[in-house]
Amino acid sequence: MNGAKVFIESMIKSGVDTTFGFPGGQVIPLFDAYLDYEDQIRNVLVRHEQAAAHAAEGYARASGRVGVCVATSGPGACNLVTGIADAYMDSVPIVAIGGQVPTRLIGNDAFQETDMIGVTLPITKHNFQIRDSKDVESTVAKAFKLSLNGRPGPVYIDFPKDVQSQKVGKRITDEEFRNIQIKGFDPTIIANDMQISRAADLMIKSLRPIILAGGGIISSNASNELREFAQLFGIPVCTTLMGKSCFDETHPLSLGIVGMHGRRIANYAMMNSDVVLVIGCRFSDRITGDTNTYLNDAKIIHIDIDPAEIGKNVEVTIPIVANAKNALSQLLEAIIMKVEKIERTDSISSASKKNIIGNPEWIDRIKKYKTACDACVNFPSKAGNQGVAGSAAKIFPKSIIDELNKIMDKDDIITTGVGQHQMFAMHYLKLRTPRTWISSGGAGTMGFGLPAAIGAKFAKPQSNVYNIDGDGSFQMSIQELETIRSNNVRLTSIIFNNSYLGMVRQWLELFNDKRYSQVNLGSEIDFAKISRAYGLEGVTVEKTSELPDALKNARDSSKATIIDVKIEEESNVLPMMTPGGNYKTVFGKCMKGPGEYF
């Protein structure tokens, strides 16, 4: 048995049933080996290697398992880099496999040779180059273990062609494969009891507590623990973009997304809290703005699996290194025990008992402002262009999300491209189930939505998958319509078509005196016709009244569908704060009342 077949068998042992890839000269032996295992593993032939990486991300985020992408050496492997970097920024577990020239040619600038070890070093948890076929099994076992455990992330494997063809001698046992050891890799998953006790004391004393939930809740499958914790103590929950869907957004305690493009009520609550429990969040600049003023009146309990993230951007009061699921369970138990002890103590005042967790006045204030925030309608700045059904004006983007909310089931999955459409979806979609929101956060990768939707559909074939995209972002991966057709992938792409590179245009309008440079994409593209040219369904929507039927027909269709929605060209997604701005100044004050435009 050669190295390529052992590699395929090792992936199967690791639980892989689907990979996403594109062949080339230096991976011919590997792709040949797939033919002998067709009943156990399949490769989805993409039309661009970057799409393979994003599809692997979509698969991983929808399933909670490791996603896998494969490409040949040189330009093929280089095309994986954007997806690898995206996975690194968003802590997504993928294993990327690239072919390499034969070992005797490495370093000689051979045809299609690239030093992928050097290229991927800054954007992976670890990378490997297999120089001998005897190391194939142990390398694959280590790669999958590293990718999924601790803080998830991408791992790259460089696989020279001669090693793929090389015969493998002695194999390791299944038990050795399952229990592979990685020297120096021992992530802390159980929180320190003393730190948990300190955090419990601080939470008990808090008058205005808030929970900020990040992607670590989803990565560690801690949504149930988060819900139990928040409900038991009545603490409002804000999320990051990566944390969206980790907490039921129809729940009364849900305040929505924080940050530069976040909901006003969420940012208001953060700025006025006295204790913030932060779980699985790295405090990116899009969340914090000016770190000199961000949460400087609050005490911060920061739970994260990666100790490097705690205190990196924001000074914290109590650091806790642990898996979010375990830490929440430990903290819940510690608070309950301390509360019971307080209640048995006669010397404690009734006033102190009343405020064991939070202050009723704080919760009432949050409810009031949440109601006001939900009543606000985020219309475009141009008077009259509000996308009213039957009017001549083009559709305002929020109308699309409102209609989508009406037809979605709780297990339906949303992917997005990057831009205004992403922010509209982030604001207004009401998601109830973890792993139903898949969007590019840290890297902000245009073109992410369509291939991620393909990966998500392969991971969860019974769920409806909707890709919310922009006309700019969609065109960066439009070739994957053939991947969809050839694999009969049933999903719906909803294009917010404003003929602009929308988010950049919004920045130029708000911050650059409307000096529009290179943001007009043109209005002549017929995405519905392009979809039909690929053998898929396509429909153009120009009136708000046409949205319900278009969405329902797409949901019920046996084919993938593109819905090309002509939206108001200069609609803005608001609120929006300048990068590095002062959140306390912008969001720290109370809202005036329902209907306020912000």
Model confidence at 472: pLDDT above 70: yes
| Burial letters 501-531, b for 16+ CB under 10 A, else e | bbbbbbebbeeeeeeeeebebeeebebbebb
Is the per-residue pLDDT at 567 higher than 80?
yes
Active site residue 38: no
> What is the rounded average pLDDT for all residues in the chain?
92
* Whole-angstrom distance, CA of residue 104 vs CA of residue 162: 9
Catalytic residue, candidates 9, 49, 137, 309? 49
58 pLDDT above the threshold of 90:
yes
The catalytic residue among 408, 426, 503, 577 is 503
| 161 in active site | yes
Query: What Rg value do the Cα atoms of the chain yield, rounded?
Result: 25
For this structure, is 462 an active site residue? no
Instruction: Say how many Å lie between the first and final Cα of the chain, rounded.
Output: 65
- Summarize the confidence of residues 468-492 as an average pLDDT: 98
Q: Known catalytic residue: 111?
A: yes
**3-state secondary structure string, 344-411?**
CCCCCCHHHHHCCCCCHHHHHHHHHHHHHHHHCCCCCCCCCCCCCCCCCCCECHHHHHHHHHHHCCCC
From 112, 177, 479, 482, active-site residue: 112
The residues, any chain, with a CB within 8 Å of residue 345's CB and separated by 6 or more, are none
Average pLDDT over residues 212-229: 98
Q: What is the pLDDT of residue 371?
A: 86
The pLDDT, as a whole number, for residue 353 is 42
What's residue 392's pLDDT?
46
- Check residue 387 and give its pLDDT: 37
Active site residue 144: no
Say if residue 526's pLDDT is above 90: yes
Does pLDDT of 584 surpass 80? Answer: no
Cβ neighbours, 10 Å, residue 188: 15
Q: What is the pLDDT of residue 354?
A: 43
Average pLDDT over every residue of 38-60:
98
pLDDT confidence of residue 345: 64
User: What pLDDT is attached to residue 376?
Assistant: 63
Rounded alpha-carbon distances, angstroms, from residue 420 to 74, 500, 501, 525, 597:
34, 10, 9, 19, 18
Give pLDDT, residue 373.
78
Greater model confidence, 292 or 345: 292
Residue 360's pLDDT band, with cuts at 50, 70 and 90, is: confident
Catalytic residue among 5, 145, 161, 584: 161
Domains of the chain: 3-178 (3.40.50.970), 193-372 (3.40.50.1220), 397-566 (3.40.50.970)
pLDDT for residue 257 is more than 50: yes
- Give the total residue count for the chain: 598
pLDDT score for 532:
98
Two tokens, residue 455: 């990966």
Band (pLDDT 50/70/90 cuts) for residue 579 is confident
Query: What does the pLDDT look like over 109-148, one tens digit per residue?
Result: 999 999 999 999 999 999 999 999 999 999 999 999 999 9
Report residue 415: phi and psi, to 5°. -115, 160
pLDDT at residue 342 in the model: 77
pLDDT tens figures, 262-282: 998 999 999 999 999 999 999
